[in-house]
């Protein structure tokens, strides 16, 4: 009789409240964001955006700016003290010969090479950075992840890149993902932490957006597409969804989080496409704040050639 006499509107309210009460705090948090994403619709929106806008950003001024977004990276199994030092010295020489060009944002290596980079890097404005936390799979103990981070910072790391634990995330174990990011960020302190989502393994736009939101709330200073170690790395679609998440998070919290494209960004044209997405979705303030990065090993020399007209060998 109670249910029969209860207004239909109140039944809906009671049902919604019950459903919310049974949700995890993470699922409740997700309700603040638009997660009703269709992958085909995202793809169509990105194609339309790039078709309409990318040409206007393919300019000498933008190409020159893109130099400042470069995180020159070497993350191979045959890296050595000698090869890393050679890369740093080559970069120092390029910067010395072209003082009018903006410096790269960072040089990124495995942790064991941070000491070499921090001691040999001579370019003001370029930071020594490294991957931490069991890169690239993140499949190790949290104690190892935090210790590796602490040792890297002790050796001079000015920025750290960690990988989201994709396995737990896909199982819905959001608490593990958040706890790990929070613990590593606590070790970083004021050192910026970039969280790599490995978007190619997340598969769907909705998963990419959830991972973005989790990472930002857990303390990520930048969110990054990929490690470059999986079959599918950075894509414009993933970048578009991540930038939408960053914008919605900013509107909700007032905190600006950066975006980094990494994995397969190898030509100036590729770089312009990602610039277009960041510029159009997030706006000029993200560009001015230096909150757009590109991690790459091959783009740097090609972009230098495009800007200067000179031929540059790969670093």
> Which residues are part of the catalytic machinery?
161, 224, 260
User: In Å, how far are 68, 152, 266, 275, 276 from 56, measured between CA atoms?
Assistant: 19, 41, 20, 11, 9
In the 8-state DSSP scheme, what is residue 104?
P
Q: Is 156 helix (H, G, I), strand (E, B) or coil?
A: coil
Q: Supply φ then ψ for residue 222, to 5 degrees.
A: -140, 150
- Residue 292 pairs in a beta bridge with 259
CA distance 152 to 131: 9
CA 94 distance to own-chain centroid: 26
**Other CB atoms closer than 10 Å to residue 91's CB: what's the count?**
22
Q: What are phi and psi of 271, to 5 degrees?
A: -60, -40
Q: At 136, list the tokens.
A: 């690239």
Torsion from C-alpha of 113, 260, 67, 48, nearest 10 degrees: 150
Cα 123 from Cα 127, distance rounded (Å): 9
Output Rg (C-alpha) for the chain, integer angstroms. Answer: 21
Q: Which residues is 262 bridged to in the sheet?
A: 295
Q: How far apart are CA 194 and CA 162, in angstroms?
A: 6
CA distance linking residue 266 with residue 159, whole number of Å: 22
C-alpha 180/C-alpha 228 separation (Å) is: 21
Cα(3)–Cα(100) distance, rounded to whole angstroms? 75
């Amino acid at each position: 009789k109670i249910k029969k006499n209860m207004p239909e509107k109140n039944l809906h309210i009671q049902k919604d409240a019950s459903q919310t009460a049974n949700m995890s705090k993470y699922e409740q948090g997700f309700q603040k964001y638009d997660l009703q994403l269709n992958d085909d619709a995202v793809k169509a929106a990105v194609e339309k955006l790039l078709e309409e806008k990318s040409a206007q950003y393919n300019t000498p001024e933008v190409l020159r700016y893109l130099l400042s977004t470069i995180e020159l990276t070497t993350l191979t199994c045959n890296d050595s003290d000698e090869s890393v030092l050679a890369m740093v010295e080559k970069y120092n020489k390029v910067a010395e010969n072209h003082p009018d060009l903006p410096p790269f944002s960072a040089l990124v290596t495995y942790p064991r090479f941070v000491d070499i980079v921090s001691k040999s890097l001579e370019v003001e404005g370029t930071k020594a950075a490294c991957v931490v936390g069991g890169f690239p799979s993140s499949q190790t103990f949290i104690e190892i992840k935090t210790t590796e981070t602490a040792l890297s910072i002790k050796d001079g790391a000015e920025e750290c890149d960690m990988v989201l634990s994709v396995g737990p995330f896909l199982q819905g174990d959001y608490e593990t993902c958040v706890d790990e990011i929070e613990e590593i960020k606590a070790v970083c302190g004021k050192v910026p932490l970039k969280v790599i989502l490995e978007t190619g393994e997340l598969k769907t736009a909705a998963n990419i957006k959830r991972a973005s939101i989790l990472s930002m709330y857990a303390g990520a200073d930048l969110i990054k597409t990929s490690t470059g170690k999986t079959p599918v790395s950075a894509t414009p679609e993933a970048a578009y969804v991540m930038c939408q998440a960053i914008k919605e998070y900013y509107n909700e919290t007032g905190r600006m989080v950066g975006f980094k494209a990494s994995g397969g960004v190898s030509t100036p044209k590729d770089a312009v496409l990602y610039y277009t997405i960041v510029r159009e979705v997030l706006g000029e303030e993200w560009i001015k704040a230096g909150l757009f990065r590109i991690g790459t090993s091959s783009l740097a020399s090609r972009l230098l050639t495009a800007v200067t007209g000179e031929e540059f060998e790969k670093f």
